[in-house]
Structure 1
Amino acid sequence: MKYLLFVACLLPIGSLAQRSTPIYKNQSLTVSARATDLLSRMTLQEKIGQLNLVTFVNENNSTNPMDDKVKAGNVGGILKSNGVKQNLRIQKIAVEQTRLGIPILFQEDVIHGYKTIFPIPLGESCSWNLTGISQTAAVAATEASAGGIRLTYAPMVDISNDPRWGRISEGAGEDPYYASLVAAARVRGFQGKDLTNANSLMACVKHFAGYGAALAGRDYSITDFSERTLREKYLPPFKAAIDAGVGSLMTAYTGIDGTPATSNQRLLKQILRKEFNFNNLIITDWETIKNLVKIGVAKDEPSAVQMAIESGIDMDMTSELFQKHLATLIKTGKVKIDVINAAVSRVLEAKFKLGLFDQPFKYLDEAREVEVSQNKDHLLIARQAARESIVLLKNDSQILPLKKNVKTIAVIGPLANRKKDLMGWWGGQYSQGKPDAVISLLEGIQKTVDPSVKVIYAEGIKLDGFEPKGLELIPAAVEASLSADIVVLAVGEEYWMSGESGSISMLNLPGAQLQLIDALAKTGKPIVSVLFNGRPYDLRALSAKSSAVVEAWFPGTMGGLAVADVLFGDYNPSGKLTVTFPYNTGQIPVFYNSKRTSHDLDSVDMKHRFANNYLDITTKPLYPFGFGLSYTNFSYSSLKVVSGNNFKDGNLQVSFVVKNTGEREGIEVAQLYIKDKVSAVIRNVKDLKGFERFSLKPGEARTIKINLTNQSLSFLDRNLKEIIEPGDFELMIGSSSEDIRLRHDFTIK
């Protein structure tokens, strides 16, 4: 003993301290080394606890079951627990009252804002402003992290061609190329350059994969599609998010080729882990392990747990079946401990990457929480994001922009003075945003027009569900319209009608809105219709009876002011649709990048039975992908296509000139599409392969350059291998997928 004490005295103080500090607490070591050391110190029960993602339940009695679970080491992550005061208390229990002091990973649905609510993702995607999309994600990360949240279940990158599916509102539209760019932009915005930064969140890309192909637009329906469709349409945005460094991924409710995503080893191990080289955290969706029994692929809960953990699932959201059954499965030899260790390592590594071990209370500061929540800068960013997301669909006789000194304006409609509905499903139901902070359309107009303008408001009808209500209010709305110079009509859907479980069968405006539109049209007054919604609707009747149609989506906290900015010309609308608006529900699915067919899809001869059309309606959509009007006009000219090696590969430089031929400064989104004329497999009629968003002053012209790579022209061959094939291509430049202004044929040698 004397000898040991003597040696200890001879050791440098720093060396002794280093030896006494566990490796996992040494900040100078790698994440992997620290996680490996911590794992070696954990009991089986402590390991299983880290895989348990539970929902916070607020108990009002003196003993809180959540506190007890955390103290026992049975919780790795918590969702739906918000606010510094609450999360600080829970985190202190985890860090200070458990054996190893492993912190909790707080998680939440921060979909398009936390306190400050931005436009829904589908709406924001219509801005085509990737920098702006990153910026709003960064603001959401700042506000959420100030409330103790460290992981968000976003971005959702599911492609869908069915607007009956409510969650189309949460994605970036119908095009895999553009959706991939948006996915990467949102990951960069949420995560920043350093996950330990107090303004960052770990992103969780979802839902892997093919969730947007929900049968008949019904949420949670099991999907069925080919592997070609999986790889061409649904996987690219996930790959883009992974390449951008996304820290986690969520599985889908649905299945692929008969196997649920939560237990699909080929999907999770072969494609995700091996092909995409994704080594980060995988989380289930809500109780999807329990759903394996409901679907009928697992005979009981233990079987479901075994299938999920062996497929690569790391955290079990809300079902607590890992907690209930994993220990027994290990002891009976049905699940190997190495499988558990791998999952626990990924959970621990996520927490190390986020800096939770080194500064577990860094993100839990009540003063900072107040400081960053809906501050002035964030509200300005929200207003600009909402402006840019608005799409002008119709503007007959240039009725817009309106004059701020018009004598009388009638603001009519069930959504004219709503607040919560402007926040959308996630904003209105699950965010920390407050409806009282939202600026309604009526308020936005009142704040924008000259003080001398008389603004008359009438609700028109009651929008309360899908059944017609409030028809007795129509006469008052008609009377208000008759006394006005212009009618601004606010229609659409309530916040809960889109989003998760928000499936509908018909795309008609709900309630008695069509009756209101008919009545107002009979007054002969010019109608400017503003839509607040989370999906494309059948707008034929509305469009036919309106002088102008403004698609505002669910625009968020500053929505009313943003719409007023567009209506009165303080902002020239620049949004372009990222999803097709159908002619009617029967056209679904209708999207711009469909497969080529042997019969003429463009035929308008409805009596011609041998065209690929309907006998009763056109095949053309009401508003196509990429469409959006401006208060100015743009001309396109001087298209040039240059190859550095005489067209021996797909690396090309495309240039063309765009000129603002109108009288207002405006933003244009020039779009580049490619058509492969002859290929080994059936390809799409056209595919978006590039775009440029830019501003031009009146009379200003600019040469726009877009570079194409060989990947721009590549495709999956018959064996699903990516190739570029020599042959003829058509290049199309335009203002939408239908409004093609310039064309050029070229040949890859």
Structure 2
Amino acid sequence: MKKGLFVICVAALLTAGCKQTGATEEDRFIDNLLSQMTLEEKIGQMNQLSFDQPLDSIKAKIRAGEIGSMLNIDPKLIDEIQKTAVEESRLGIPLIIGRDIIHGYKTVLPIPLGMAASFDPQLVEAGTHMAATEAREEGITWTFAPMLDISRDARWGRIAESLGEDPYLAGELGAAMVRGFQGEHLSDSDAIAACVKHFVGYGAAEGGRDYNSTYIPEILLRNVYLPPFQKAIEAGAATLMTSFNDNNGIPASGNDFLLRTILRDEWKFDGFVVSDWCSMSEMMSHGFAADRKDVARISANAGVDMEMVSQTYIEHLPQLVAEKKVPMEVIDNAVRNILRIKYRLGLFENPYSKPGKTSTIYCDDHLKTARRAAVESAVLLKNDGVLPLKEGQTVAIIGPMANAPHDQLGTWSFDGDKNRTVTPLKALQSDEYKGIKYIYEAGLDYSRDTDTSDFERVKSAVRRADVAIVFVGEEAILSGEAHSLSNINLIGAQSELLKAVKSTGKPVVMVVIAGRPLTIERDLPYADAVLYNFHPGTMGGLAILDLLYGRENPSGKLPVTFVREVGQIPMYYSHNNTGRPAQDQITPLKDIPLEAPQTSLGNTSFYLDSGKDPLYVFGYGLSYSTFEYGNLNLSSNEVSAADTLTVTATIKNNSTTDGTEVAQLYVRDLVGSIDRPVKELKGFQRIFIKAGESQTVTFKLPVSELAFYGRDLKKKVEAGQFDLWIGPNSAEGLKASFTVTE
């Protein structure tokens, strides 16, 4: 169809729809366009393909109305492909172009787990807006992010793509990501459609093995796994993706309870649902569908609007409709949902990118945003006084991650350019740090390297320096989708490298660059300081030096619990208490006397070999400043469900260094109709405090936020006693109590 004819047809459709009383312009446009479509064209809108076929074949399918969306297109071909849809197909319906833009497009941010460590929704929103601006510039209109899977198992590779273990933090940051991607209006030139994923429970995959089954009862599903998704939907998320896993035996791409009862009926979601890559056809492997025709029937009726890649809709929906096994109403509603998002994206009016304007890709503002994100995402875990470094010192730069430009970008960085990555070594060669004297000796070529033949050279280099910085971690390929691990220690000979460096007697700073929380307890004795970075992206090297040299003050906090060893998994802060909670005093395994009686150790809930506590708790992170909390005050000690509780505390910076503290608010419902977690995060704030000064932090806690789903599966606030804490992490803080009345 020629563009002029398309415009005339659109006008005619709008005019014809004026008789529809109470309908919006959007509704009239969509309904009238839908009325012009054949069944085959409708099903075509429900079909998404990857650009892995010959260009001529793709164009032929587009002309025939068989494709509604494409992903993985070379950006240089997007406008050409879009022109085929708009000007050469019968109805001229534009394509929605999808791409995995998970933590930056060209300018790469820290991985989402790192962004979560910032506890900074404004920064997260700015980062995703940056990514949307760069992507839309090249004609990309849809990203498959944010991932809001609650992740409590570091063996699971996709923990890298998550926002951590806590529903409140994930919800706040997930909503910020949606706002950043989608902007004020989806049709703006710096906005793309977000896709919240994976719906739902994927992060609870059994054994941390990707794609594995989950077993989550509905109470737990509603209280822990669903809330981040609901917040993202309330923030206006345009699309949603089903997950690969089955939960309680029902694959997500065939779960009508999730996709219709919860998503449509309860949450009133009006965007569209897309399957994950072949997740529909994989229902045959699950044993949930007999064949590809059965797949199409189950998923369409369950509420999957668009099929990613596997093409069972194109093959079988026409016959299923004819056989009345899939109602025509199901098809029409699915297409209506898809057209609605295309309409809101402004694709019917502006289907093409706008070449010729000044590019934002790798612009100074974006590089500054990426650097700020890398700074705020780093977590200082240990500091025995060696940090910050003095710029007059000679430093030995050691380790495989000191100059790993590809791996520093992390998982899901399809469009990042490693040649633009500023590694720590490259940062030392920049104008900003050219005055630093350093000696570089990698020791290991990459994180899995087991060749220790260079260790003597490493030790010689360290002896000539004042301090050693050892950059360890994991390559990008070791985390992300399908990259689960059963052992999450430092891999290869990295631990041995750290020991060799420490044997010189020089101070050692361990800088970790990884995609997950590694089990580093065995390495801590060989490091005087530890700075943890979740693959920090394009500007990570400069950010790390900013922190090591005190030009920036660490402020990141852990969005996940760090276990001592993998056998403690799953371990997370908001657990239930059990009937026999572990006591503070636990007899170490080595101190258990021979032939001790069965009950001599107290019969409480802990591990004989690793105790009851993690290595580092959720919310933990050090600073070069020292903060002291005081003067906790509640506006009332007795509130009703309709009230808002005001909570204040004073935070004093007792150091000589300006710093930012992330103050965290936790509550505990002491007695409930079901067991309640020992603590739940209900608020956080980043507070900048100058040296020697104090700030008052104020939290407004609506009592309605204390509601939960009980045995009757109804969400409500229950009357009773509550404890409350304000502090620097989930294990410390000032404590108060209040009562919720009937």
Provide TM-score, normalisation by structure 2. Answer: 0.94
The corresponding residue for 1:543 is 524
Deviation at 1:497, TM superposition (A): 0.6
Match status 1:437 vs 2:445: no
Does the alignment pair 1:34 with 2:15?
A: no
**Whole-Å separation in 1 of the counterparts to 2:435 and 2:237:** 52
Code of the aligned partner of 1:412? I
Give the structure 1 partner of residue 659 of structure 2: 666
State the 1:342 CA deviation: 1.0
1:21 positional shift: 3.2
CA distance in 1, matches of 2:9, 2:609: 81
2:707 to 699, 703, 714: 714
Partner residue in 2 for 1:13: none
After superposition, give the CA deviation of every residue in 1:442-475 in whole Å (9 maximum; x if it has no partner): 112333776454311111113264xx52221222
Distance 1:617 1:93, change over 3 A: same
Cα deviation, residue 643, structure 1: 3.0
Cα distance in structure 2, aligned partners of 1:80 and 1:452: 43
Which residue in the other structure is 1:680 paired with?
673
Paired with 1:474 and 1:734, the residues of 2 have a C-alpha distance of 43
* Aligned position for 1:105: 96
Partner of 1:75: 67
1:22 partnered with 2:12 = yes
Q: Cα distance 1:266–1:671, how it changes in 2: closer, same or farther (>3 A)?
A: same
2:185 is paired with a residue of what secondary structure? coil
Cross-structure match for 2:356? 367
- Structure-1 separation of matches of 2:52 and 2:376: 38
Q: Which of 213, 234, 239 matches 2:230? A: 239
Deviation at 1:609, TM superposition (A): 4.7
Aligned-pair CA distance for 1:20: 9.0
Q: Does 1:425 align with 2:411?
A: yes
Worse-matched range after superposition: 450-459 or 665-674: 450-459
1:10 aligned partner: none
Q: Which amino acid aligns with 1:477?
A: V
- 2:382 aligns with one of 388, 394, 397: 394
Quick one: distance in 1 between partners of 2:551 and 2:322? 68
Deviations 1:485-516, CA, capped at 9 Å, x for gaps? 11011000000111111100011111111111
Report the equivalent of 2:340. Answer: 349
Asked whether the equivalents of residues 16 and 32 of structure 2 are also in contact (C-alpha less than 8 Å), the reply is no
Q: 2:21 maps to what in 1?
A: none
Q: Which amino acid aligns with 1:415?
A: M
Which runs of 5 or more residues in structure 1 are unaligned? 1-16
Match of 1:701 among 694, 714, 726: 694
Distance 1:334-1:748 versus aligned 2 partners, 3 A rule: closer
Contact 1:25 1:34 in 2 (8 A): no
RMSD: 1.8
Asked whether the equivalents of residues 609 and 615 of structure 1 are also in contact (C-alpha less than 8 Å), the reply is: no
Residues 285 and 78 of structure 1: CA distance in aligned 2, closer, same or farther (over 3 Å): same
- The alpha-carbon distance between structure 1 residues 570 and 340, as it changes in their structure 2 partners (threshold 3 A), is same
- 1:591: which partner in 2? 572
- 1:558-597 correspondence runs (5 A): 558-597=539-578
Residues 160-199 of structure 1, C-alpha deviations (whole Å, 9 max, x = no match): 1100001111111111011110111110000011011000
The range that moved more, 477-486 or 639-648, is: 639-648
**Match runs of 1:136-175 below 5 Å:** 136-175=127-166
Task: State the Cα distance separating 1:659 from its structure 2 match.
Answer: 0.9
Indicate if the aligned counterparts of 2:447 and 2:494 stay in contact, CA closer than 8 A: no
1:623 aligns with 2:616: yes
Please identify, of 134-143 and 275-284, the stretch whose mean Cα deviation from structure 2 is larger. Answer: 275-284
Residue 282 of structure 1 aligns to a residue whose secondary structure is strand
Are 2:51 and 1:56 aligned? yes
Match of 2:445 in 1: 462
Q: Distance in 2 between matches of 1:26 and 1:474?
A: 78
Closer, same or farther: CA 341–483 of 1 in aligned 2, 3 Å: same
Measured in 2, the distance between the counterparts of 1:19 and 1:588 equals: 59
Q: Which moved more, 1:570-579 or 1:703-712?
A: 703-712
Kindly indicate whether the alpha-carbon contact (under 8 Å) linking 1:54 and 1:318 is maintained by their aligned counterparts in 2. Answer: yes
Question: For 1:506-545, what aligned pairs fall within 5 Å after superposition?
Answer: 506-545=487-526
Cα distance change of structure 1 residues 481 and 27 upon mapping to structure 2, 3 Å threshold: farther
- Distance in 1, matches of 2:122 and 2:661, equals 16
Distance 1:82 1:450, change over 3 A: closer
- From 363, 367, 376, give the equivalent of 1:379: 367
Q: Residue 624 of structure 1 aligns to a residue in which SS?
A: coil
In structure 1, C-alpha distance between the alignment counterparts of 2:641 and 2:281, rounded to whole Å: 54
2: CA distance, partners of 1:645 / 1:629: 35
CA contact 1:603–1:611 (8 Å) conserved in 2: no
Residues 603 and 612 in structure 1, CA contact (< 8 A), matched pair in contact too: no
Paired residues of 1:654 and 1:706 also in contact (CA < 8 A): yes
Unmatched tracts of structure 2, length 5 or more:
1-6, 19-23, 593-600
Corresponding residue to 1:94 among 63, 69, 85: 85
**Counterpart in the other structure of 1:3:** none
Could you give the per-residue CA deviations for residues 281-338 of structure 1, whole angstroms, max 9, x where no partner exists?
A: 0000000111011111111100111000000111000111111111121223322222
Quote the residue 2:738 is aligned against. Answer: 746
What code does the residue aligned with 1:367 have? G
Indicate how the Cα distance of structure 1 residues 329 and 646 shifts in structure 2: closer, same or farther if over 3 A, else same: closer
Aligned counterparts, 1:107-126, within 5 A = 107-126=98-117
- SS of structure 1 residue aligned to 2:282: helix
Contact 1:166 1:501 in 2 (8 A): yes
Is the counterpart of residue 654 in structure 1 residue 644 in structure 2? no
- Would the aligned equivalents of 1:637 and 1:658 in 2 still touch at CA under 8 Å? yes
Structure 1 Cα separation of the partners of residues 738 and 464 of structure 2: 59
Asked if 2 retains the 8 angstrom alpha-carbon contact of 1:650 and 1:713, the reply is no
Does the 8 A contact of 1:206 with 1:249 survive in 2? yes
8 Å CA contact retained: 2:479, 2:516: yes
* Distance in 1 separating the partners of 2:245 and 2:431: 47
Q: What does residue 4 of structure 1 align with?
A: none
Work out the number of aligned pairs and report it.
Answer: 718
User: Which whole-Å deviations, capped at 9, do the CAs of 1:184-230 have from their partners, x for residues lacking one?
Assistant: 11100000110110000110000000000011000000111211111
Is 2:62 the counterpart of 1:66?
no
Cα distance change on mapping 1:708 and 1:380 into 2, 3 Å? same
TM-fit CA distance, 1:147: 1.2
Cα deviations by residue, 1:590-618 (Å, 9 ceiling, x for unpaired): 11100111213244413515021111122
- Determine if contact 1:210/1:230 at 8 Å carries over to the other structure: yes
Per the TM alignment, residue 257 of structure 1 is displaced from its structure 2 partner at its CA by: 2.2
In 2, Cα distance between equivalents of 1:352 and 1:412: 53
Amino acid at match of 2:27: S
Distance 1:433 1:20, change over 3 A: closer
CA distance in 2, matches of 1:678, 1:692: 28
Q: Return closer, same or farther for 1:440/1:129 CA change in 2, 3 Å cut-off.
A: same
Tell me, in whole angstroms, the C-alpha distance in 1 between the residues paired with 2:738 and 2:637: 14
Q: Which amino acid in the other structure matches residue 716 of structure 1?
A: Y
Q: Which string of whole-angstrom CA distances, capped at 9 and with x for unpartnered residues, describes residues 13-65 of structure 1? A: xxxx9899321599996211111101110111111111110001264xxx622
Contact 1:444 1:563 in 2 (8 A): no
Counterpart residue number, 1:131: 122
